[in-house]
Amino acid sequence: MKKMMMAAAMAAGLGGMAHADAHANDVTLQLQWVTQAQFAGYYVALDQGFYEEEGLNVTILPGGPDIAPPQVLAGGGADVMLNWMPSALAARERGLPVVNIAQPFKTSGLMLTCWKDTGIETVEDFRGKTIGVWFFGNEYPFLSWMSQAGIPTDGGDEGVTVLRQGFNVDPLLNREADCISTMTYNEYGQVLDAGVSEDELVTFMYEDQGVATLEDGIYALEENLEDPVFVDKMVRFVRASMKGWKWAEENPVEAAGIVLDNDETGAQSEAAQIRMMGEIAKLTAGSNGALDPADYQRTVDTLLAGGSDPVISAAPEGAWTSVITDAALN
């Protein structure tokens, strides 16, 4: 932390030197998933010239099922990545020194969506059921939740059978699972679009269960944060990105249109992206980009409460810094 503070202080006085560096203004951002309104703030900042106003040349790399942002970051393919904190902290404990430098998402959008006719009304009713869970780092909040609830995840009448869920809602629609993982802004809408009514469903918000963990934070490598040129670049990047997020919150329809303009696959629909942007705005509302220490601690406590198989084995040290947002917001 001391090194980071020194770097930030140095960056403030570097001015021309930083901007003279060939890479001082280039930023590559690795998204956690494909181009969609979940990442609207960054596309807005690019489209509305907020990055340009900060003298930045920003490249946004879409993610996908075969792309692991921590691996991209470790390999030098990106300067910063978006990641859920459980995944990032697990990666840090395994030896990849990632650091949270900003937290645009204040609230979690993760939930389980279940068929009501299975008789599921409470968490205890999960016993003996099959539940679809995303992996690639997304499984950690669920596993921690089940451990805290005392529900085994190895099947049987007293446990849950965990189905490795793809990034779709087919297991629920095909009755392969009693519940599946969904996001408020994405898969839940897909279930409804398939002709299922809300009356047929029961949902469990991770926020309501007290096991919500932070999502979609901005992460950089610790060693890079010792470079004053990089720190200066990140301050400008975070400031412009948060400007993009607030613009997106206030102009959800226009923001969805900007996302569609950047979707090279043509896979996204206007109606779905407008709906998604409306839900995403609820998750970024109240955040100025600075990580709330209480939210961080709740996430760590949730992950440590994993019984015999916790997500992380010890409280992390140096896993986040306020240096970037302190400078960006002042």
Rounded-to-integer distance, Cα 285 and Cα 287, Å:
6
- Whether 20 has a pLDDT exceeding 80, the answer reads no
Asked if residues 144 and 152 have their Cβ atoms less than 8 Å apart, the reply is no
Helix (H, G, I), strand (E, B) or coil at 224: helix
pLDDT digits (tens, 9 = 90+) for 29-81: 999 999 999 999 999 999 999 999 999 999 999 999 889 999 999 999 999 99
How confident is the model at residue 40, as a pLDDT? 98
Contacts of 298 (CB under 8 A, 6+ apart): 212, 213
Please tell me the pTM assigned to this model. 0.87
**Best CA proximity match to 106, nearest among 1, 216, 205:** 216
The confidence band for 17, taking pLDDT boundaries of 50, 70 and 90, is very low
Instruction: Look at residue 302 and tell me whether its pLDDT is greater than 50.
Output: yes
CB-count exposure of residue 120 (10 Å: 0-12, 13-18, 19+): buried
Q: Is the pLDDT of residue 194 over 90?
A: yes
If you write DSSP's letter for every residue of 33-99 in order, what string do you get?
SSSSGGGHHHHHHHHTTHHHHTT-EEEEE---TT--HHHHHHTTS-SEEEE-HHHHHHHHHTT--EE
How far apart are the C-alpha atoms of 328 and 245, rounded to whole Å? Answer: 14
